[in-house]
Amino acid sequence: MLKKSEYINTGGKLIDLKIPRIMGIINVTPDSFYTGSRYFDDKSILEAASRMLDEGADFIDVGGYSSRPGAEDITPEEEKSRVLRAIKLITREIPEAIVSVDTFRAEIAYEAVMECGAKIINDISGGEADKEMFNVVAELNVPYILMHMQGTPRTMQINPAYNDVVADILMWFGERIFKLRTMGVKDIILDPGFGFGKTVEHNYELLRRLGEFKIAGLPIMAGLSRKSMIWKTLDVKPEDALNGTTALNMAALMNGADILRVHDVKEAVQVRTLYLKLRLINKEG
């Protein structure tokens, strides 16, 4: 097992990942699966970002393309008009915010960093959707969230299949980590992609065995918030899945997650506080 990276460099600011970090979600889309994460006008975007930071978010992740199962495709121009405006607004009005751009399009990632002040690129396709993405990440030298997705948002939930979901994703990660490293990319964060081309059973297997991804020696992000693996299992709606999210976020931390990507920052910060207390007691014992 490789020695784990304990810091990421976000525009010259080192973030210590020995303490788990919280990433708040802002979707500037009309069709995200959870209505509570949708923000459109400048006022609501700024209010959401300010609230999340006040509640303890370490990062703000801004996306303009809905990646829910079966989501309709939108043009790069439409995505750009949504996401770049929001990122520029946040970084201008809240300069201390560390903003991540959630996009699989290299051109948008480039502009978000170079022109709008984003410090992290979060790519749900792991470089598969746009072959220029790795070149852009290498040129910009920013942290890159490498997420696994089987298929595309429109097709990913049509009979996803694996020989061994963890082993298959680890192999997929390994090929891309090697390529990124040879290109000089320093800060890589792994996201196994809960809900992206996985059945409910695949998702729980991933969560149960999340610690196996530590073999790569890289930080791990878990995006479980209000996803169907929770609300389908509990037979509720996404709006009623906060309690289940909290339970699985604790499981993710206990199994090795370094970053939680969430809709509900305050509750995730509380989970982290309790986890750190438990970890401290275990060490003292």
Residue-wise DSSP of the chain: -PPPP-EEEETTEEEETTS-EEEEEEE--S--SSGGGB--SHHHHHHHHHHHHHHT-SEEEEE-S--STTPPP--HHHHHHHHHHHHHHHHHH-TT--EEEE-S-HHHHHHHHHTT---EEEETTTTSS-TTHHHHHHHHT--EEEE--SS-TTTTTSS---SSHHHHHHHHHHHHHHHHHHTT---EEEE--TTSS--HHHHHHHHHTGGGGGGG-S-BEE--TT-HHHHHHHT--GGG-HHHHHHHHHHHHHTT-SEEEES-HHHHHHHHHHHHHHHHHHHH-
3, 261, 272, 279: the active-site residue = 261
Tell me whether residue 261 is one of the annotated catalytic residues: yes
21, 198, 226, 227: the active-site residue = 227
Tell me whether residue 227 is one of the annotated catalytic residues: yes
Kindly list the catalytic residues.
227, 261
